[in-house]
Amino acid sequence: MTTVLLVRHGLTPLTGPVLAGWTPGVHLDERGRAQAAALAERLRPVPLAAVVASPLERCRETAEAILAGRDPAPPLHVDEQVGEVRYGAWTGRELRALRKEPLWAVIQGHPSAAVFPDGEGLAVMGARAVAAVRRWNAALGPQATYAIVSHGDVIKAILADALGLHLDGFQRIGVDPCSLSVVRYGAGGPQVERVNDTGGGAAGLAPSARSGRNRAAGTPATRTPATRTRAARGAAR
């Protein structure tokens, strides 16, 4: 079975308040660099055939942290097909303003119908992301374990496909910054091993004032502890 480690990039100064999208020059901040280094250490025992990254700096920097210290280092491939949603006119805007837009309700309740002004639809993004996973699975082979470093919505779309969910259910999936999700692909179909694993404890399970607030496409979930499926086993700890 091909094992795919889905990694969301670490925190940036814009993560949360602003929809960064394809804004150039958005780098990991100190928190994000620490997250990436911690994840890299957790993944150290896992042999990787390759790391595939979104072209955006925050993903490439997270990928480079994962590769640091590996000898020999597996190749790093940059792939636009696992790049961020093309948010178009929404790019760079504050989320508190975007919540007032009529499209916001569509993103929350019927995301497969959401098309960003001057951008792409979430359904188009989901199709290209899933196609990229299948293309890399075929290229790297059935015994490979490799990482894809991407963005929250992209990973949610891949997980929804692996779980057999319609894209309209992908807002039910949480993908926090620098979280690890794992999917194994075999002849019998995908098997989801981990979802939104941040390696944390139970502290984040306590209710918070923001826990009931809907999330925009691309914003971090409010949960911080590891979340795993019952089938979780064998992947990096």
Query: Burial letters for 161-181: b for 16+ Cβ neighbours within 10 Å, e otherwise?
Result: bbbeeebbebbebbbbbbbbb
Helix (H) and strand (E) counts in the chain: 6, 7
Q: What is the pLDDT of residues 171-220, one digit of tens each?
A: 999 999 999 999 999 999 999 999 999 997 676 667 765 554 455 555 55
pLDDT tens digits, one per residue of 83-124: 999 999 999 999 999 999 999 999 999 999 999 999 999 999
Collapsed DSSP state (helix, strand, coil) of residue 186? strand
Cα-to-chain-centroid distance, residue 193? 15
Q: Which among 70, 71, 51 is positioned nearest to 61, based on CA atoms?
A: 51
Helix, strand or coil, per DSSP, at residue 7: strand
User: Torsions phi, psi of 147, nearest 5?
Assistant: -110, 145
Q: H helices of 46-190, where?
A: 57-67, 95-98, 102-109, 122-140, 152-162
Q: How far apart are CA 60 and CA 26, in angstroms?
A: 11
Structure confidence at residue 207 (pLDDT) = 72
* pLDDT recorded at residue 65: 98
* Angle at 106 (CA atoms; ends 118, 198), nearest 5 degrees: 95
Give the ranges where the chain is alpha helix by DSSP (H).
30-43, 57-67, 95-98, 102-109, 122-140, 152-162
pLDDT of residue 114: 98
For 65-83, the pLDDT digits (tens) are 999 999 999 999 999 999 9
**The domain made up of 2-228 is a member of CATH 3.20.20.150:** no
Alpha-carbon span 192 to 203, nearest angstrom: 25
Whole-angstrom Cα distance, residue 104 to residue 44? 40
